[in-house]
Amino acid sequence: MVSQIDDAADAFILYDAAALAQWSSLARRSVRHGPTALTARAVMTHFSALELLKSAVTGDKHWTKQWPEAEPKEEYDVVIVGAGGHGLGAAHYLAKEHGITNVAVIDKGWLGGGNTGRNTTIIRSNYLYDESARLYDHAVDLWEGLSQDLNYNVMFSRRGVMMLAHTVHDVQSFKRHIHSNRLNGVDNRWVSKEEAKAICPPLNIRADARYPVLGAAWQGRAGTARHDAVAWGYARSASSRGVDIIQNCPVTAIRRGPDGAVSGVETAKGFIRARKVAVSAAGHTSVLMDTAGVRMPLESYPLQALVSEPVKPVFPCVVMSNTVHAYISQSDKGELVIGSGTDQYTSYSQRGGMALIEHTLAAIVEMFPQFSRMRMLRLWGGIVDVTPDRSPILGKTPVPNLYVNCGWGTGGFKATPGSAHVFAHTIATGEPHAINAPFTLERFTTGRLIDEAAAAAVAH
Amino acid sequence: MILIHCPYCDETLPEAEFTYAGEAHVVRPDPSVSDETWRDFLYIRSNPKGPHAERWRHAHGCGRYFNAIRDTVSDRVLTTYKAGESKPVLPGDVK
């Protein structure tokens, strides 16, 4: 555990450099677009220990903007709606792996301001079904090299995810998951309650607990990452390859030509022609797809999370419990990051009911009595788009040249690089990658669902 | 916590007394319909950003199902009505 914390401390230093650069770019927002923007692309600083050292002795004055502000052009090869991790990631892989750089990523707010900046940063791939295991494990594979790939520290920390079993049913269900995962080459193993306690000392394993811990599933390869850095890293990389990132510009409608194919998008800054449109808009996907005449099997729910005051390192891994319904980890800043379930009703309000938070915190205190006097600092909600089978929709649509990446529900962050990677493949080639081929929109007509809902590893 | 008026009990009570039961007025089609129509019935919901007709059950009260129209932007319940009644027209509705 000590080495993990050391890693985190190292990561924090580099992250600070990135944050500094980000702030200095904010300070220089007045820089004009056009040729200046192109110059900024050309001179983007490569982050390294040497650069950090150089800047330390020269007063931190040479950091360049991480990405230039962009005004929309009249036409793009690809317009991606939604500048979260999934959308920006798709732009990065389109540019890097498919050579498609005439791309705009458009967001109604600031980049990474939706669910990318609102999740609890947990990364794992211990899903039951073969299709899901391949998709989420592809993401974990990419997470491992992401900081190097982006030259941006996303602070991926392989601190492990523990899923607690409190009932006989939990034990059976988790062991089934473990066997399924092992057959799929996904790391996951059963640990006794004593082993669980050894991994995570704050855990209460007393037999007289209201919901006693009987054991746990442990995925050591899982962990967390710095969610904002993922969006920033992808934005910086995509932008340096020529992608325009257009913020604070709501897309109001998707337009189709006389042949039925996509012709572009209506935005707050006017109509933008596009040969292909890729929607990666999370909670607002169904609203947007409706404008293209495509009805989606999605409902949007608020999902809440909260953080405590920062404290010294007390919590070495991620712990989740479906039975008492809460999940918790500690950020490198020291805050306890706590996630709740969705509210029961659909909503676009980005906030939820306090009763759910009370319920979540009761569960946390039950499992970790030492946190009973922690003060909670901030509470927020994000709008998650939920499919009937709790698996994403990632691929083509009935509209030619319109692609969609949605339906991640309560667990999209963990899939960010894998999802973005196969989505870029789908957009570039017009056909799904083998990994996302099962995640079609048609499965709701054929009945070939990927039903992670009933037996899911996810907390619903 | 949203406040909901139960049209049977004629009381406005906190959400904790109620259970959400999905979109209202979803009509089950004849089983001989096409796969697309059956999909629409099973899986496609309107999911609007704005007024949404939905079912609630007064689980910790009279136990009955009723319908509500709630604004999904503000979460405010605009009106509630008994099961079986047709959807009321609200001011501002597109005719």
Q: ipTM more than 0.85?
A: yes
- Pick A295's closest partner by Cβ from B1, B44, B49: B44
A321: tokens are 């419990």
Q: Tell me the per-residue pLDDT of A116-172, one tens digit each, with 9 for 90 and over.
A: 999 999 999 999 999 999 999 999 999 999 999 999 999 999 999 999 999 999 999
Alpha-carbon A437 to chain mean position: 21
* Lowest mean per-residue pLDDT among A46-50, A179-183, A402-406, B82-86: A46-50
Q: Of A46, A48, A44, A47, which Cα lies nearest the Cα of A64?
A: A44
Residue B12: give the domain boundaries: 3-82
The pTM assigned to this predicted structure is 0.90
Check A298 against B45: CB less than 8 A apart.
yes
B63: left (phi over 0), alpha (psi -120 to 50) or beta: left
B1 with B15: CB under 8 angstroms?
Answer: yes
Alpha-carbon B4 to chain mean position: 12
Question: Is B70 among the domain residues?
Answer: yes
Chain A residue numbers with beta carbons less than 8 Å from the beta carbon of B47 are: 286-287, 296, 298-300, 346
Residue A204's pLDDT is 96
Residue A23's pLDDT is 43
Question: Is B92 among the domain residues?
Answer: no
Secondary structure element (H or E) that encloses residue A148, with its range: helix A130-150
A211 inside 8 A of chain B by CB: no
pLDDT, average across residues B64-76: 97
Q: What are the beta bridge partners of residue A226? A: none
- Cα separation, A225 vs A248, whole angstroms: 26
Residue type, A135: L
Question: Is B78 among the domain residues?
Answer: yes
Residue A11's pLDDT is 39
- Pick A354's closest partner by Cβ from B1, B39, B42: B1
- Cα separation, A240 vs A133, whole angstroms: 32
| Residue B91 DSSP SS3 | coil
Residue A363's pLDDT is 93
**How many independent structural domains does chain B possess?**
1
A446: tokens are 């054929």
Q: Tell me the per-residue pLDDT of B8-49, one tens digit each, with 9 for 90 and over.
A: 999 999 999 999 999 999 999 999 999 999 999 999 999 999
The torsion angles phi and psi of A89, rounded to 5 degrees, stand at -60, -45
Q: What are the beta bridge partners of residue B4? A: B13
Close Cβ partners of A162 (under 8 Å, ≥ 6 residues apart): A191, A196, A199, A200, A216, A217, A218, A317, A318, A319, A320
Q: Report helix angle A227-240 to A130-150, nearest 10.
A: 70
Cβ atoms within 10 Å of A261's Cβ, excluding its own: 14
A316 with A200: CB under 8 angstroms?
Answer: yes
A345 inside 8 A of chain B by CB: yes
A228 with A117: CB under 8 angstroms?
Answer: yes
Residue A172's pLDDT is 94
Chain A residue numbers with beta carbons less than 8 Å from the beta carbon of B70 are: 345
The torsion angles phi and psi of B48, rounded to 5 degrees, stand at -75, 155
Q: Tell me the per-residue pLDDT of A241-292, one tens digit each, with 9 for 90 and over.
A: 999 999 999 999 999 999 999 999 999 999 999 999 999 999 999 999 999 9
Residue A43's pLDDT is 58
Residue A453's pLDDT is 62
In angstroms, the first-to-last Cα distance of chain B is 32
Chain B residue numbers with beta carbons less than 8 Å from the beta carbon of A347 are: 72-73, 75
- Cα separation, B5 vs A64, whole angstroms: 57
Residue A31's pLDDT is 38
A318-321/A326-330 β-pairing = antiparallel
Question: Is B87 among the domain residues?
Answer: no
Res A19 pLDDT > 70: no
Close Cβ partners of B87 (under 8 Å, ≥ 6 residues apart): B24, B25, B53, B67, B69, B81
Question: Is B91 among the domain residues?
Answer: no
Check B45 against A445: CB less than 8 A apart.
no
- Cα separation, B54 vs A382, whole angstroms: 21
A415 with A452: CB under 8 angstroms?
Answer: no
Residue A459's pLDDT is 43
Predicted confidence band of residue A218 (pLDDT cuts 50, 70, 90): very high
What is the signed CA dihedral for A412, A122, A337, A25, rounded to 10 degrees?
-70
- Cα separation, A104 vs A86, whole angstroms: 14
Res A22 pLDDT > 60: no
Q: What is the CATH number of the domain that holds B74?
A: 3.30.2270.10
Q: What are the beta bridge partners of residue A383? A: A302
- Shortest CA gap A409–chain B (Å): 14
Indicate if the alpha-carbon torsion angle A340, A204, A307, B13 is positive or negative: positive
Predicted confidence band of residue A61 (pLDDT cuts 50, 70, 90): confident
pLDDT, average across residues A313-333: 94
Predicted confidence band of residue A226 (pLDDT cuts 50, 70, 90): very high
Question: Is B89 among the domain residues?
Answer: no
DSSP string, A266-307: EETTEEEEEEEEEE--GGGHHHHHHTTT---S-EEEEEEEEE
Mean pLDDT computed over every residue of chain A:
90
pLDDT, average across residues A32-36: 38
Res B92 pLDDT > 90: no
A12 inside 8 A of chain B by CB: no
